[in-house]
Amino acid sequence: MLTGKVALITGATAGIGMATARLFAERGAKLLLTGRNEAAGKALAAELGGQFLAQDIAAPEAAARLVAWALGIHGRLDVLVNNAGVLFNGDVATCTDAEWDTIMAVNVTAVFRLCRAVVPVMAAQKSGVIVNVASDWGLVGAHDALAYGTSKGAVVQLTRSMAAD
């Protein structure tokens, strides 16, 4: 099902993103991987036969840069996996503004920007799939994870709203 499909996976240098990259490679996808850990990303891309671009996904220009990169290499983008995410522990009394802002920038705003950037590309292709990775913590409250749970709830609602449109 993924044979020959061009897939951009964010947060691909560890955890769910790395596992997704491995699975997509096994299924024949052309991998475009991104993350902040350049050494891990380059090693994974070399291992799986993909490409890697180190990127701070929260940077305002990141989405446009990643889509241009994908189109420059393959001329299309079939699958976007919005997986990058950060987590800081804290409740409403202990979560700092900096932690809140970082979590929202990476976990919500970057997801929105990438979706907004790829939708016109996929619409022009008349095909494409966007996978936004959330968490059950976005559906139910979780102890000591106020900002993270809030951010993942926002991703769930963003995804539902996109599907409704």
Rounded Cα distance between 21 and 131, Å, is 13
Spatial distance between the Cα atoms of 130 and 146, rounded to a whole number of angstroms:
26
Which class for 24: exposed (0-12), middle (13-18), buried (19 or more C-beta within 10 A)?
Answer: buried
> Does 148 participate in catalysis according to the annotation?
yes
List the end-to-end C-alpha distance of the chain, in Å, as a whole number: 25
| Residue of 24, 52, 137, 148 marked catalytic | 148
Burial status of residue 102 (CB atoms within 10 A of its CB: 0-12, 13-18, 19 or more): middle
Question: How does DSSP assign 70-108, residue by residue?
Answer: HHHHHS---EEEE-------B-TTT--HHHHHHHHIIII
- For residues 65 and 59, give the distance between their C-alpha atoms in angstroms, rounded to a whole number: 10
Residue found by looking up tokens 């539902």 in the block: 160
Catalytic residues: 148
